[in-house]
Amino acid sequence: MDFDLTILGSASATPMLGRHHTAQVLAVGRKQYLIDCGESTQERLIEQKIRFSRTDCIFISHLHGDHFFGLFGLLGTLHLQGRTEPLRLFGPAGLDEVLTTQLRCSGTPLSFDVQFTCVDTTQHQQVYEDAAVTVNTLPMRHRIPCCGYLFREKPGRRRLVKDLLPTGLVPEQLQALTRGEDLRDDVGHVWLRHLDVTEPPPAPRSYAYCSDTVFTESLADLVRGVDLLYHESTFLHEMLERAVQTGHSTARQAGQLARLAGAKQLLIGHFSSRYRDLEPLLEEARREFADTNLALEGLTVGL
């Protein structure tokens, strides 16, 4: 099953030619989760040929415009496409009020329900679950209420090892084995142990989205061992003071957090428009954590 993250925007507050506001799509199997939705996200989805109709959940980190001003246009387009399936929206208090006001003033009720969940950005708690994943909030420390999101794949079923299977098993028996159940005869004796004919499922994958925040060491505990960590890196470390003032992190700090957390891979993004060349940011983060890449528009990372 796929577990792919696609980056739609790498810019911080001010967009540039080719650098757009923050948005990401996590695709897990046939499901898609949109994470933040900066202005013109719908145009990025078109560019990346991502069919948005598959998305049922949108997670918004905070109410700075570069993280959610694309939401209203996207919902409007889904309405024009005739969507009827409800859409779940997660975000801080106030997001529903902005949305309701926009819709009322434009005289356009949507063709589908938006089911809003107001998340407590100060807590690390599960806010969503489906057959494929759980999603927990990650408290960020920013100028306004803000949280990241941690996506954890649910454990899969054990895998059958064909060469070890006796012949003649019916589908129900095979499914029981993948669920970790042994097969028993009529009097209850185990005649086939699942451990003998199956192997463990692949390790569940995980993705942690951390934007926007000042460096917060305690975050490492919450994302320990994560397969992929996205951490904002608005500034180079020489701008640490400015980073702290504005509620942001430096590339060095992003690398430090990945190392502290024992992450497997790091993506850095949300770059200040002062950096036309992003290599210095990448090098700075890599000095702390080698397996770092730039979260640039169009990048897809498969786990």
Structure tokens at 266: 């790091």
Does 72 participate in binding its own copies (rule CB under 8 A)?
A: yes
Stretch that binds its own copies, among 75-83, 192-200, 211-219, 224-232 (CB under 8 A): 75-83
Stretch that binds its own copies, among 77-85, 112-120, 199-207, 280-288 (CB under 8 A): 77-85
Ranges within 124-183 binding its own copies (CB under 8 A): 143-144
> Which among 190, 187, 186, 228 has a CA at the least distance from the CA of 206?
228
> Which one of 82, 107, 109, 171 is in contact with its own copies (CB under 8 A)?
107
| 237 marked as part of a ligand binding site | no
Does 245 participate in binding its own copies (rule CB under 8 A)?
A: no
> Which one of 34, 60, 61, 70 is in contact with its own copies (CB under 8 A)?
70
Active site residues: 66
Binding-site size, its own copies (CB under 8 A): 38
Does 108 participate in binding its own copies (rule CB under 8 A)?
A: yes
Does 102 participate in binding its own copies (rule CB under 8 A)?
A: yes
Does 111 participate in binding its own copies (rule CB under 8 A)?
A: no
Q: Tell me the closest approach of the beta carbon of residue 265 to its own copies, in angstroms.
A: 30
Does 202 participate in binding its own copies (rule CB under 8 A)?
A: no
Nearer to its own copies, 38 or 269 (CB): 38
Structure tokens at 144: 């306004």
Nearer to its own copies, 108 or 175 (CB): 108
Does 105 participate in binding its own copies (rule CB under 8 A)?
A: yes
Nearer to its own copies, 49 or 189 (CB): 49
Residues in touch with its own copies (CB under 8 A): 13-17, 20-21, 39-40, 42-43, 46-47, 63-66, 69-70, 72-73, 76-77, 80-81, 94-95, 97-98, 101-102, 104-108, 143-144
